Amino acid sequence: MAKAVESLAFERHGLSDEQLRWMLRNMHLQRTIDNRGFQLNRQGKIPFATGSEGHEGIHAGAALAFERGKDVLVPYYRDAGLCIGVGMEPIDVLLGMFARGAERQGGRQFPSHFTHRAIGIMSFSSIIAAHCPHAAGAAYGMKYRKETGRAVLCCFGDGATSEGEWHEAVNFSAVHNLPIVWLCENNEWAISTPREHQMAIKDIVQKADGYGMRGSICDGSDPIAVYQTVKDALDRARSSGGPTLVEAKCYRFLSHTTDDDDRTYRSREEVEKHRSLDPILRHERTLLEHGLITVEEIEALKKDVLREVNEITDRAEALPYPDPSQLYVNVYEGTHEPWR
């Protein structure tokens, strides 16, 4: 039971108590599902999983800034929490991990590659930054149809900003003043490549100048700060104010995926040092300090999240793989008989 204590004012940027608590639950849900993927992999039940531990603050904050039914999200493969946050069913993540036929993409994609046109999540591939020109195209469409009140939120990591297609997409959006927010979830690592080998600058937001574009930077471990920064940028985009490059700094606590072993390229000390940036701990502290939640409520929330994750794990696991005949559908529209 929360006490509405206003003793320590903090900048909540118009977020309600419920929203603030929702953010915590989303973060826990994200982390639990995330860890579940690693657990299932280490159990030998699924061949592959990606980790997003450390991004929870960005995802919770950006999800609330996103306007369901209006905005379009063009995410990448470390955005499970964000996709759940904008309305995707959590079981979709598990269905993808288990590669079930019932999954929206029929079990074709790697885990954590989503699509959900009905709620505005754009399909993407594993190719870094290949989705960025698509995001620009989607934003162009909004401008072309003179739709104000809508914007595109495109997310990517620090490594993506080195790709030529990122550059071309961002440049295009600046030339055409498109309604888009380019959200870089800078977790300082592109698999094993640290930021200093990826770019000569310290902050990705510095690139915005090069495009004649606005840029903002925020602390990705603080979901409220992320919410504020992303909302400002989205509002600007929705009102024909043009694109913004938003950098949210965080830290990737796990390896890139279950196939990566981060011990080969960074020390445990370094990882532990960044634990203080853990967004979940930080937000819990914020809520606790401002009487918006109690310790017991946090425990209950975690239990409930675990229950939910266990339930969707079991449900997803019980479903079958896609029928082999499904390999041949949706190559083109209509029936298509591939030569075999």
Partner 1 sequence: MALATAGTTTMNNVEAVRHTLYEALKADPKTLIMGEDVGARGNVFLITKGFLEEFGPERIIDTPLAEASIVGVAVGMAMEGLRPIAEIQFADFIYPAFNQIVGEAAKTRYRSNGDYTCPLVIRTPYGGGVRGALSHSVSIEALFYHVPGLKIVAPSFPADIKGLLNAAIDDPDPVMFLEHKKTYRLVKGEVPNGHYTIPIGKAEVKIAGDALTAVSYGLYVHQAIEAAKQLAADGLSVEVIDLRSIRPMDRTTILESVRKTRKLLIIQEDNKFGGIGAEISAMVVEEAFFDLDAPIRRLAGPDVPAMGYAQTLEEEFMIPTSRMADTMREMVAF
| Contact set with partner 1 (CB under 8 A) | 72, 74, 104-106, 108-109, 113, 115-117, 122-123, 125, 127, 130, 132-144, 164-165, 168-169, 171-172, 175, 329-333, 338-339
Which is closer to partner 1, CB of 66 or CB of 227?
A: 66
Give whichever of 130 and 301 is closer to partner 1, judged by the CB atom.
Answer: 130
- Cβ closest to partner 1, residue 86 vs residue 139: 139
In whole angstroms, how close is the CB of 307 to partner 1 at the nearest point? 30
Nearer to partner 1, 12 or 108 (CB): 108
User: Which of 36, 55, 116, 252 is an active site residue?
Assistant: 252
The single-letter DSSP state of residue 205 is: G
Residue 18 CA, chain-centre distance (Å), reads 21
CB of 160 to partner 1, least distance (A): 13
From 21, 104, 134, 256, the catalytic residue: 256
Element (H, E) at 202: none
Q: What are phi and psi of 9, to 5 degrees?
A: -70, 140
Count other C-beta atoms under 10 Å from residue 137's C-beta: 17
* Among 117, 144, 265, 328, the one annotated catalytic: 265
Which is closer to partner 1, CB of 267 or CB of 330? 330
Location of structure tokens 């999200």 = 73
Give the residue among 183, 243, 185 at the shortest CA–CA distance from 212. Answer: 243
Which residues on neighbouring strands pair with residue 219, listed in sequence order?
249
Count CB atoms within 10 A of the CB of residue 14: 9
CA distances (Å), origin 285, targets 113, 239, 281, 295 = 32, 35, 6, 10
Q: Which amino acid is at 314?
A: D
Q: Is 134 a catalytic residue?
A: no
- Show Cβ contacts of residue 223 under 8 Å, excluding neighbours closer than 6 positions: 23, 27, 56, 57, 58, 60, 61, 279, 283
Closest contact distance (angstroms) between CB of 237 and partner 1 is: 15
Identify which of residues 35 and 123 has a Cβ nearer to partner 1 in the complex.
123
Nearer to partner 1, 100 or 252 (CB): 100
**Is residue 265 flagged as an active site residue?**
yes
Q: Do 57 and 81 contact (CB within 8 A), yes or no?
A: no
Q: In angstroms, give the least distance from the CB of 224 to partner 1.
A: 31
Locate the DSSP E strands across 66-137. Answer: 72-74
Identify whether 256 is a catalytic site residue. Answer: yes
Least distance CB 169 / partner 1 (angstroms):
6
CB of 290 to partner 1, least distance (A): 40
Smallest distance from partner 1 to CB 267, Å = 35
Half-sphere exposure for 229 (CA within 13 Å, toward CB): 29
SS3 157: strand
Looking up tokens 């993927």 gives: 37
Minimal CA–CA distance to 180: which of 192, 166, 194, 190? 166
Give the relative orientation of helices 17-42 and 223-238 as an angle to the nearest 10 degrees: 110
Which residues are identified as catalytic? 252, 256, 265
